[in-house]
Amino acid sequence: MVKNKNIKGKVLRAVLLLIVVACLLAGGTFLFFKYNSVRKAVVLATTREQQTFTELYFENHLILPEKITLFKENNFKFTIHNLENEDMEYPYEVYIDTDGKKQIIGTDSVLIEDNGYKTVSVDFTITAPIPGSRVVVNLIDKNEQISFWITMEEEAEE
């Protein structure tokens, strides 16, 4: 007799649990179809979207040129890392921005395979005095930029 009561109690608990789960599923389904915001939240929570982006950064960022001497060649390197999930062509420009005026150092384009890197070396020489200015690398199609500041080296007084 006791064994039968235990079995009946377990069956009753299982049936009640099944009813509760069914009610929760029915309520969730109702909310899913009734409210657009609930549907969007469920889709966002259960869908994995691949992110695409491009990394742009300076190589050896701690040793970028700061003080520029007239007629002396300066250089730096920047790297583009393609994480766009496809091969990409990256047109870019490098320029000096002095109070909103652009002085183009160079323009070019590089093809980079998906998940590939390309490091570009830039050499430039200043031939006229300039106040403090920014050297800018601009990925034209991505509207993505990095920059650093330069100033003129003070001439030694005689």
Distance CA 150, CA 122 (A): 15
Q: Are 83 and 53 in contact (CB under 8 A)?
A: yes
CATH class, domain 53-152, is: mainly beta
Distance CA 67, CA 47 (A): 50
Q: Where are the beta strands (DSSP E) in the chain?
A: 53-58, 67-68, 73-83, 88-98, 101-112, 117-125, 133-139, 144-152
The pTM of this model reads 0.68
What would the pLDDT profile of 6-24 be if each residue is shown by its tens digit?
777 788 888 888 888 888 8
Q: Are 74 and 124 in contact (CB under 8 A)?
A: yes
What would the pLDDT profile of 53-93 be if each residue is shown by its tens digit?
999 999 998 999 999 999 999 999 999 999 999 999 999 99
Q: Where are the domains of the chain?
A: 2-46, 53-152
